[in-house]
A and B are shown apart, each in its own frame.
Chain A
């Protein structure tokens, strides 16, 4: 069944979008990620203009992270103070990102920049995760006890000034890296249409040494607001948010996520991480191929923004 998307201005198949949302929702529930990094490239493969795919991806991320954050609030595994500071940085980063987004769009280099960012980030994160999880899988198979990181260990980040106490995370750390991390994620969110969970979670664990149980909830909390802000600004400055498209993806997504979460409980942590790493790498490779393969049409048309 076809449906006309009012902002993207093309006709698409409603079931393809619902299925896409459900599949990504399933994966995001299974792996505990927002799924923005999958939705946006999938939309681009489905011929949705990248600018609209990014802005709508950010909108879709709100739904899945809101749904996820609710259960963390209930379990008390959400550090509101840490989330708040991350968010403050996020707003700054996101504003910068929107500015860069508009600038690149006028230059005609937006599509390239989005693809490059995806390839580099997904490639790096996917590669690192794969190495780490394969090592962990080998270690468990050979029967060796996993090496536990000592929580008391400090790195250079913990020597920075302007320290702040985060009670729920049992953390006493400088606000500079927290704000910086928030800003970086905010920037990526507005340019790539991702929540940034796949970067935020490892950064909170390994850089800031936040206890693992509060990491996901806190990350989701910050993602809700960063992507809400991103959606709002994209809607106001670029008019690229397609609610119809976003809603179809969300509807499929929230349903898929709950089933995915259940399926995820049956797999072991390192198996899950290895699978996620392969998935992330596959998306990166697919996007990279498009960059290098001779396009069927060397010429492209675009309207001129009169603003």
Chain B
């Protein structure tokens, strides 16, 4: 948890109680809102993963439906998209060598999901596909369309599997809790190796298995402090950085001799 100083709070509380009696016959459609009190999260040296809490609210929620628990919310925190190469090792003369590979464009580096109930209970697979919702339904565009569908499928599956294994793609069933009829709290996991960059938080509202509304907010994840400075210098002033690394090594060697000399 260290270093995570993000407090994401309610941005808008629904105020539907005061609606005029004339509009009561046609119930207004529900809306979902999430709000972040800060637009960035900083990762410092001791970062070993964290839970990120996002608050949100339903507007125009039907109290009856809410009481029956037929509102479902899925919150996704999606990392920046980057191209990825998936490689498969095969045995050649007894040695395991990377042979086949498949490049995918625009793969979200991380993808954390929090839901009120298990994904399969919220809605049907088709709706997920249409919404591209859930790690299994993100569309991964292969760079080379010429490859056989079977190959692409195999490597896509491997890509998802590796991402889940490293905690970058995660699912937190029960991570969304209703605090009241129209206020909810979502807890999404940030993996220790969460990528820096612009992340997109999205919340999906379902009523009785039907998709109603989506809301999104942006969140910047940065490295902060000393490590971030090192990273930036290494990339922006790489020659000076290398020069510094060499000087540091010589200085350490010289000091080490002065301090620990035994001859």
* Interface set of A (CB-CB < 8 Å, partner B): 2-7, 9-11, 59-60, 62-67, 70-71, 108-109, 111-112, 116, 224, 228, 231-237, 239, 241, 243-244, 246-247, 250-251, 253-255, 257-259, 261-262, 291-292, 294-295, 297-304, 306
Contacts and interface: CB of A to CB of B under 8 A. Distances in A.
Given A71-B263, A232-B246, A66 B253 contact: yes
A65 B159 CA distance: 43
B103 A231 contact: no
Contact of A108 (B48, B98, B163, B249): B98
A144 to B, nearest CB: 33
A129 B84 CA distance: 44
Contact of B249 (A7, A112, A250, A303): A250
A255 B239 CA distance: 29
Q: Which secondary structure dominates chain B's binding surface?
A: helix
Given A295-B96, A301-B162, A301-B163, A241 B241 contact: yes
A67 B238 contact: no
B253 A239 contact: no
15 contacts: A6-B228, A6-B234, A70-B257, A108-B87, A232-B243, A246-B249, A250-B252, A250-B256, A255-B260, A257-B256, A294-B96, A297-B162, A298-B89, A299-B86, A304-B85
Interface stretch (B5-13, B19-27, B39-47): B39-47
B83 A303 contact: yes
Contacts of B249: 59-60, 62-63, 66, 228, 231, 246, 250
Contacts of B16: none
Contact of B252 (A71, A247, A306): A247
Contacts of A300: 86-87, 89, 98, 162
9 nearest A-B pairs in the assembled complex, by CB-CB distance: A254-B256, A235-B242, A66-B253, A62-B249, A67-B253, A258-B260, A299-B158, A63-B253, A232-B242
Contact of B84 (A2, A235, A302): A302
B67 interface: no
B48 A2 contact: yes
Contact of B245 (A11, A224, A231, A294): A231
Q: How many B residues touch the partner, as a band? A: 35 or more
Contacts of B162: 297, 299-301
Interface centre among B88, B103, B235, B242, by most chain A C-beta atoms within 10 angstroms, is: B242
B59 to A, nearest CB: 40
B237 to A, nearest CB: 10
Contact of B193 (A10, A116, A224, A262): A10
Given A62-B253, A231-B245, A298-B88, 5 more contacts: A63-B249, A108-B98, A235-B242, A301-B162, A301-B163
B192 interface: yes
A7 B230 contact: yes
A297 B88 CA distance: 9
Contact of B87 (A64, A236, A291, A299): A299
A7 B234 contact: yes
Interface in B220-263: 223, 226-228, 230-231, 234-235, 238-239, 241-246, 248-250, 252-257, 259-263
Contacts of B246: 59, 62, 228, 231-232
Contacts of A298: 88-90, 96, 158
Nearest to A71: B263
B1 interface: no
Contacts of A224: 250
Contacts of B231: 6-7
Given A239-B234, A258-B260, A300-B87, A6 B227 contact: yes
A251 B97 CA distance: 36
B101 interface: yes
Nearest to B99: A108
A228 B98 CA distance: 31
B253 A301 contact: no
A5 B257 CA distance: 26
Nearest to A252: B256
B262 A67 contact: no
B87 A246 contact: no
Given A6-B223, A66-B253, A109-B97, A261 B262 contact: yes
Nearest to B84: A301
Contacts of B87: 108, 299-302
Given A64-B253, A258-B257, A259-B260, A304 B103 contact: yes
B165 interface: yes
Contacts of A253: 256
